[in-house]
Amino acid sequence: MSDRAPQPVARQLPTDEARELISLVREIAQREIAPSAAEEEDVGRFPREVFTLLSGSGLLGLPYDDEYGGGEQPYEVYLQVLEELAAVRLTVGLGVSVHTLAAYALAAYGTKEQCAEHLPAMLGGGLLGAYCLSEPASGSDAASLRTRAVRDGGDWVLDGTKAWITHGGIADFYTVMARTGQEGPRGVTAFLVPGDAEGLSAAAPERKMGLKGSPTAQIHLDGVRVSDARRLGEEGQGFTIALSALDSGRLGIAACAIGVAQAALDTALSYAGERRQFGRPIADFQGLRFMLADMATRIEAGRALYLSAARLRDAGLPFSKQAAMAKLHCTDTVMRVTTDAVQVLGGYGYTADFPAERYLREAKVLQIVEGTNQIQRMVIGRHLLGPEER
Ligand SMILES: Cc1cc2nc3c(=O)[nH]c(=O)nc-3n(C[C@H](O)[C@H](O)[C@H](O)COP(=O)(O)OP(=O)(O)OC[C@H]3O[C@@H](n4cnc5c(N)ncnc54)[C@H](O)[C@@H]3O)c2cc1C
């Protein structure tokens, strides 16, 4: 390493407990995740044992109540944990974010009995979750979903196909949005479906350009029967629950994006300090210095934006607009920064010998998941101008 080697991110953390948490996460990340990240992403291996370790260390329930085994951490701390994990391996950071999203419907809308029965195992008992909103014919227009849940005595019977499900086929529980009533958003209800439910099966994982260690698959629900005790919230409240979960989830995606962007910048800084051309380190050329300065500035701005949205959430204030802004800005930032990181490495950046090309491939998906960046602009526009005219 040259003396220009990047330093760990200096974090603003509210408590000593949070500082210790970040140290623990950095230690786990370096010891358990970093050594195998590149190779496992290459072959598409999901590191289940890492999630078991994170669960045992209390890192799969950080923003939830300690009454049910959560870590009771503010969102601003939880998101910085995600950033640290994603910087080392996006499959892990995004996986924790999706798991947290999957637990949200129960934690925020479940009854006391439901929370007591299911949450402890979800937050710290080694279980892994999935969130099922998208379908083959309904992505951005999620309210047009077609998966049906029909009442049968004290049960519900679910039929349909969910698409693009992160952890599809390996999750222990699925938070599923299904239609129980009229067309549109008011006819949707949320259910907690166990991974081993009869009639639930997963298609072969999608073959993706990046994030290959994280399985993404269609989930088929073929006469899946769950009791009414697994309905989350009221009948017809499912779409509200889904959107509310996504407000928080988008902050998770923003934090993951900044983690990947920071990793790309660190790679570029190290390389620029060591690579020599024209008898000097390339870091001495102003053309590259300006590029690196812009990358660092975009990252700092993104981190400040997601943290300020998180602090609104922590204070119990509305944060939906700011979450959409953070998701939009941070994921556009990671796309730009990873593209520039490849450029800083020149031809080597285009090879798998350095991680820059992996970061670039991972960045793209972040502009798509949990609402594309076009949808984030629509959300922001509605906050600014009200609903669009039809
Ligand atoms: C790796 C991966 C993991 C995922 N994980 C999950 C998961 O765990 N759970 C889950 O439920 N979903 C998941 N998704 C699905 C993801 O949320 C959707 O892909 C996303 O919402 C977009 O939907 P779509 O792919 O159907 O695109 P479409 O909605 O068909 O959009 C296609 C294009 O049209 C644009 N567009 C659509 N409508 C408008 C409009 N009104 N104005 C302007 N532009 C518009 C979009 O921005 C996009 O560019 C995942 C997707 C991927 C790729």
Local confidence band at 277 (pLDDT 50, 70, 90 cut-offs): very high
For a pLDDT cut of 90, what percent of the chain falls above it? 97
Q: Which atom of ligand 1 is nearest to the CA of 371?
A: 21
Q: What percent of the chain has pLDDT over 70?
A: 99
Q: Is the pLDDT of residue 227 over 70?
A: yes
Q: What is the pLDDT of residue 5?
A: 65
Instruction: Assess whether the C-beta atom of 140 lies below 6 angstroms from ligand 1.
Output: yes
The model's pLDDT over 20-67, given as tens digits with 9 standing for 90+, comes to 999 999 999 999 999 999 999 999 999 999 999 999 999 999 999 999
Output the CA 2–ligand 1 centroid distance in Å: 42
What's the CA-to-centroid distance between 256 and ligand 1, angstroms? 18
What are the C-alpha distances in Å from 377 to residues 18, 277, 291?
33, 42, 27
16 CA to centre of ligand 1 in angstroms? 39
Task: Of 268, 240, 239, 302, give the one whose Cα is nearest residue 83.
Answer: 302
Q: For position 261, what pLDDT does the model report?
A: 98
Range 216-222 average pLDDT: 98
| Ligand 1 atom, smallest distance to 140 CA | 29
| Residue 242 pLDDT class (50, 70, 90 cuts) | very high
137 in ligand 1 pocket by Cβ < 6 Å? no
The answer, yes or no, to whether any atom of ligand 1 lies below 6 A from the CB of 139, is yes
Q: If you average pLDDT over residues 264-287, what whole number do you get?
A: 98
State the chain's mean pLDDT as an integer: 97
- Report if pTM > 0.95: yes
pLDDT digits (tens, 9 = 90+) for 345-378: 999 999 999 999 999 999 999 999 999 999 999 9
Which residue in 146, 292, 288 sits closest to 221, CA to CA?
Answer: 146
For 42, residues 6+ apart whose C-beta sits below 8 A from its C-beta are: 212, 352
**Residue 370 annotated in active site:** yes
pLDDT band at 168 (very low <50, low <70, confident <90, very high): very high
Mean pLDDT of 312-338: 98
Residue with tokens 């102003």: 286
Catalytic residue among 32, 135, 370, 389: 370
Mean pLDDT, rounded, for 324-331: 98
Average pLDDT over residues 195-211: 98
Cα of 1 from ligand 1 centre, angstroms: 41
Over residues 70-81, the pLDDT tens digits come to 999 999 999 999
Tell me what pLDDT residue 1 has: 41
Mean pLDDT throughout 297-318? 98
Instruction: Read off the pLDDT band of 388 (50, 70, 90).
Output: confident
How far is ligand 1, taken at its centre, from the CA of residue 146, in Å?
16
Residue 6: per-residue pLDDT: 78
Phi-psi region at 280: left, alpha or beta (left = phi > 0; alpha = psi -120 to 50): beta
- Inform me whether the pLDDT recorded for 327 exceeds 90: yes
Interatomic CA distance for residues 180 and 177, integer angstroms:
9
pLDDT of residue 2: 47
Ligand 1 atom closest to Cα of residue 373: 47
Query: What is residue 187's predicted lDDT score, i.e. its pLDDT?
Result: 98
Is the CB of 182 within 6 Å of ligand 1? no
Residue whose CA is at the smallest distance from ligand 1 atom 22? 139
- Tell me the one-letter amino acid at 375: I
pLDDT for res 389: 81
CA 275/CA 257 separation, integer angstroms? 27
- pLDDT greater than 50 at residue 196: yes
CB of residue 372 inside a 6 A radius of ligand 1: yes
